[in-house]
Amino acid sequence: MRQGRAAGLAALPWAHTTEGTGINIACSHPNIQSNDYIYWYRQFPGQGPAFLVWAKSGSKDVTDPAGRLSVAGDRRSSALWLARPRLRDAAVYYCGDSVGHKWALENAGRLEKGSEPHDGAKKQ
């Protein structure tokens, strides 16, 4: 889903880990502007996206799920580290960036309960 300027966000379509094993979900935002903020959301089946964390630079702790958002020095990528994901954390994770009233949101990855990807996605 995109609105406003084309942000050029890109991410892996899915991620898999075992319960309790940390995982990094990465997102690329190569067209980010100097005043943009980076946002991460998570969406459970049948629900709307729920805000997790935002940052402009550096890193920031996330409380639920426990982890950390890290923004690259050039701000062209970010990663959401989930320290000890549980089955209840299985969801679609989104990253986004914004400046003013323009924003873009991109599917950053689907953390799944099973070992097979959805929608015919292939492991990379």
Tens digit of pLDDT per residue, the chain (124 long)? Answer: 333 333 444 555 677 788 889 999 988 888 888 888 888 998 898 998 899 998 988 899 998 889 999 999 999 899 999 999 998 998 888 888 875 444 455 555 555 554 333 333 333 3
Task: Show Cβ contacts of residue 81 under 8 Å, excluding neighbours closer than 6 positions.
Answer: 22, 23, 24, 25, 67, 68, 69, 70
Please report whether residue 86 resides in a domain: yes
Of the CA atoms within 13 Å of residue 36, those in its CB half-sphere come to 27
Q: Is residue 84 part of a domain?
A: yes
- Note the pLDDT of residue 123: 34
Closest of 20, 37, 44 to residue 93, by C-alpha: 44
Domain that holds residue 61: 10-111
Contact predicate 111/44, CB 8 Å: no
Count the domains in the chain. 1
- Domain of 53, CATH number, reads 2.60.40.10
